[in-house]
């Protein structure tokens, strides 16, 4: 697995605040990688370091195999950090033309292609001043991608977007990874969205890595056997503290291999099992478990 990002003991302090606290992270090339964490976990600080905007207090960081801040590396990266701000008096097309000229690249046709890809063709000649947050985000993504980077960092790419906009952004991000081979790293608090679009995630907590892995592996590890059965008292008697209620069903926290034995035990106890199926944990419950030590809200 080739890594596009490699951090070792990465630390950033702001006075008494440890925004990053010895972070060890390896992000593989290709696919969509989510960086998650509660407010103040250190996601934006990490992104700023990766983009060479701020310097770490301690530790090592390599981006595309090179130290950060190397212009040759920066040229291979695109980014959108927070809602992008563009000159309000320019149209969407003028904005991309201006950015393309600044990078010494991209023919007119290329700009139209990017406007189309982010769904701004109809708004191409409208001034950015009148853009909604979602439109500005989409223009920001076009600006980040127009230079054909190998690696793109997107901080909350769907914040402020309506559901159709979020769906379009998801499709765009997936197609950039799958069809164009761009590695996408994104931070988001929208965990359902992350579960849908990301291949792997890192869950950060207090400047450290709390969990990392394929989304499918992380959610499978929280798998439960969901039982629709009666009477509940008998089921709970068999399961003890491995049972919890989920609506009018029971979730059994047992390994898959113990499923058949549990069903036999329940039937022997006179339980009527109407339905039994394995359900994966969603990313939200994995997130809540992994970050349980942190209070919600920003840290002091
Ligand atoms: N320039 C700064 N000066 C002082 N403290 C800072 C600065 N930037 C970040 N911090 C602090 O560092 C910690 C990590 O902040 P960071 O913005 O990286 O978190 P985050 O995970 O991106 O949070 P959010 O989800 O709210 O965007 C927080 O406690 C924050 O208040």
227 & 117 share domain: no
Examine the fold and report which residue of 197, 219, 241 is the final residue of a domain before the chain moves on: 219
In a domain, residue 255? The reply is yes
Q: How far is the CA of 156 from the centre of ligand 1 (A)?
A: 14
Do 121 and 112 meet the contact criterion of CB atoms below 8 Å apart?
yes
136 & 68 share domain: yes
74 & 169 share domain: yes
271: domain CATH number is 3.30.70.100
In a domain, residue 284? The reply is no
pLDDT at residue 295, rounded to an integer: 46
106 & 191 share domain: yes
Alpha helices in 242-282 (DSSP H): 259-268
Q: What would the pLDDT profile of 198-213 be if each residue is shown by its tens digit?
A: 999 999 999 999 999 9
Q: How far is the CA of 42 from the centre of ligand 1 (A)?
A: 6
Is 174 a residue whose pLDDT tops 50? yes
Do 114 and 97 meet the contact criterion of CB atoms below 8 Å apart?
no
Q: How far is the CA of 5 from the centre of ligand 1 (A)?
A: 20
Contacts of residue 279, defined as CB under 8 A and 6 or more positions apart, other chains included, come to: 223, 224, 225, 226, 251
pLDDT at residue 62, rounded to an integer: 94
12, 34, 39, 45: which to mutate for ligand 1, most atoms within 8 A of CB? 45
Counted residue by residue, the chain has a size of: 300
In a domain, residue 40? The reply is yes
Q: Is the CB of 294 under 6 A from ligand 1?
A: no
Q: Which atom of ligand 1 is nearest to the CA of 41?
A: 21
In a domain, residue 287? The reply is no
pLDDT category, 298, cuts 50, 70, 90?
A: very low
In a domain, residue 294? The reply is no
Q: How far is the CA of 237 from the centre of ligand 1 (A)?
A: 47
Average pLDDT over the chain, rounded to whole? 88
51 & 78 share domain: yes
pLDDT category, 300, cuts 50, 70, 90?
A: very low
186 & 274 share domain: no
77 & 104 share domain: yes
29 & 162 share domain: yes
Range of the domain at 113: 3-219
In a domain, residue 15? The reply is yes
Cα–Cα dist 235/143, whole Å: 57
pLDDT at residue 14, rounded to an integer: 95
pLDDT at residue 152, rounded to an integer: 94
90: domain CATH number is 3.40.50.300
Is 167 a residue whose pLDDT tops 80? yes
Interaxial angle between packed helices 108-117 and 92-102, expressed in degrees from 0 to 180 and rounded to the nearest 10: 130
Q: What percent of the chain has pLDDT over 70?
A: 96
In a domain, residue 20? The reply is yes
- Domains: count for the chain: 2
Examine the fold and report which residue of 219, 234, 249 is the final residue of a domain before the chain moves on: 219
Hey, whose CA ends up nearest to atom 1 of ligand 1? 14
Hey, whose CA ends up nearest to atom 7 of ligand 1? 14
Examine the fold and report which residue of 190, 219, 248 is the final residue of a domain before the chain moves on: 219
Q: How far is the CA of 47 from the centre of ligand 1 (A)?
A: 11
Hey, whose CA ends up nearest to atom 8 of ligand 1? 45
pLDDT at residue 293, rounded to an integer: 63
50 & 83 share domain: yes
Is 55 a residue whose pLDDT tops 80? yes
Neighbours of 188 (CB within 10 A): 21
Mean local confidence (pLDDT), 178-199:
93
More confident call, 182 vs 148 = 182
33 & 89 share domain: yes
Mean local confidence (pLDDT), 117-140:
90
Look at strands 151-155 and 243-246 and give their pairing.
unpaired
58 & 91 share domain: yes
Q: Which of 49-58, 79-88, 166-175 has the lowest mean pLDDT?
A: 79-88
pLDDT category, 285, cuts 50, 70, 90?
A: confident
Is 79 a residue whose pLDDT tops 50? yes
Q: Which of 189, 184, 168, 169 is nearest to 39 (CA)?
A: 189
In a domain, residue 271? The reply is yes
pLDDT at residue 106, rounded to an integer: 56
Contacts of residue 207, defined as CB under 8 A and 6 or more positions apart, other chains included, come to: 11, 12, 18, 19, 20, 21, 22, 23, 41, 42, 45
Cα–Cα dist 15/117, whole Å: 43
242 & 127 share domain: no
């Amino acid at each position: 697995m080739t890594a596009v990002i490699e951090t070792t003991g990465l630390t950033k302090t702001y006075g008494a605040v440890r925004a990053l606290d010895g972070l060890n992270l390896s992000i593989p090339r290709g696919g969509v990688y989510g960086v998650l964490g509660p407010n103040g976990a250190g996601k934006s600080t990490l992104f700023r370091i990766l983009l060479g905007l701020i310097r770490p207090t301690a530790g090592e960081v390599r981006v595309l195999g090179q130290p950060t801040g190397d212009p040759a590396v920066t040229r291979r990266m695109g980014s959108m950090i927070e809602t992008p701000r563009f000159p309000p008096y320019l149209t969407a097309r003028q904005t991309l033309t201006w950015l393309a000229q600044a990078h010494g690249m991209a023919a007119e046709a290329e700009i139209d292609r990017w406007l189309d890809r982010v769904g701004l063709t109809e708004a191409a000649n409208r001034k950015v001043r009148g853009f909604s947050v979602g439109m500005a985000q989409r223009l920001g993504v076009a600006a980040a991608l127009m230079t054909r980077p190998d690696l793109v960092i997107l901080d909350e790419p769907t914040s402020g977007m309506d559901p159709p906009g979020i769906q379009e952004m998801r499709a765009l991000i997936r197609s950039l990874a799958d069809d164009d081979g761009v590695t996408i790293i994104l931070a988001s608090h929208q965990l359902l969205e992350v579960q849908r679009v990301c291949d792997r995630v890192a869950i950060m907590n207090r400047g450290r890595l709390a969990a990392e892995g394929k989304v499918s592996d992380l959610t499978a590890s929280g798998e439960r056997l969901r039982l629709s059965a009666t009477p509940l008292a008998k089921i709970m008697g068999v399961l003890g503290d491995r049972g919890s209620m989920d609506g009018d069903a029971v979730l059994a926290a047992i390994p898959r291999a113990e499923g058949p034995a549990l069903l036999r035990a329940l039937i022997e106890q006179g339980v009527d099992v109407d339905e039994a199926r394995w359900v994966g944990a969603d990313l939200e419950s994995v997130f809540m478990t992994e970050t349980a030590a942190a209070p919600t809200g920003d840290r002091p």
